[in-house]
């Protein structure tokens, strides 16, 4: 499962070092929010991930003026991540061919 592999990489590294990693970690966190209901043993991993997300936010966002350049970078990365997620879902979904 890609989710588990990416999660383990982030947790093993112990920090989020870029905006792209932050976006990936955010997507993993959203998926885990649903998975924790079925698999409660994942809750400790999700808590660790959320701590890393918060640490990144505190270091890079809190107390800093967000410039237009940063805003557009965040928007652009979000669009790219959404696009990648869409294609991933499309690849994993069986086609409706007759």
Write out pLDDT tens, residues 18-37: 888 988 899 899 888 888 88
Confidence band (pLDDT; 50, 70, 90) for 3? confident
- Residue 8 forms part of a structural domain: yes
* Number of domains the chain is built from: 1
- Residue 61 forms part of a structural domain: yes
pLDDT digits over 33-66, tens only? 888 888 899 899 999 999 999 998 888 876 655 5
- Residue 98 forms part of a structural domain: no
Q: Report the C-alpha gap between 21 and 13 in whole angstroms.
A: 11
- Residue 97 forms part of a structural domain: no
- Residue 60 forms part of a structural domain: yes
Other CB atoms closer than 10 Å to residue 26's CB: what's the count? 17
DSSP state of 41: G
Range of the domain at 75: 2-92
- Residue 21 forms part of a structural domain: yes
Q: Report the C-alpha gap between 45 and 43 in whole angstroms.
A: 5
Report residue 95: phi and psi, to 5°.
-75, 155
Q: What is the reported pLDDT for 98?
A: 45
Q: Is 14 helix (H, G, I), strand (E, B) or coil?
A: coil
């Amino acid at each position: 499962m890609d989710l588990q592999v990416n999660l383990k990489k982030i947790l093993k590294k112990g920090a989020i070092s870029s905006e792209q990693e932050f976006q990936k970690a955010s997507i993993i966190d959203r998926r885990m929010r649903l998975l924790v209901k079925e698999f409660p043993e994942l809750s400790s991993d999700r808590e660790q991930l959320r701590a890393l997300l918060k640490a990144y936010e505190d270091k890079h966002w809190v107390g800093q003026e967000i410039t237009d350049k940063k805003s557009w970078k965040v928007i652009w990365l979000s669009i790219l991540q959404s696009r990648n997620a869409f294609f991933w879902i499309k690849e994993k979904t069986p086609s409706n061919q007759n």
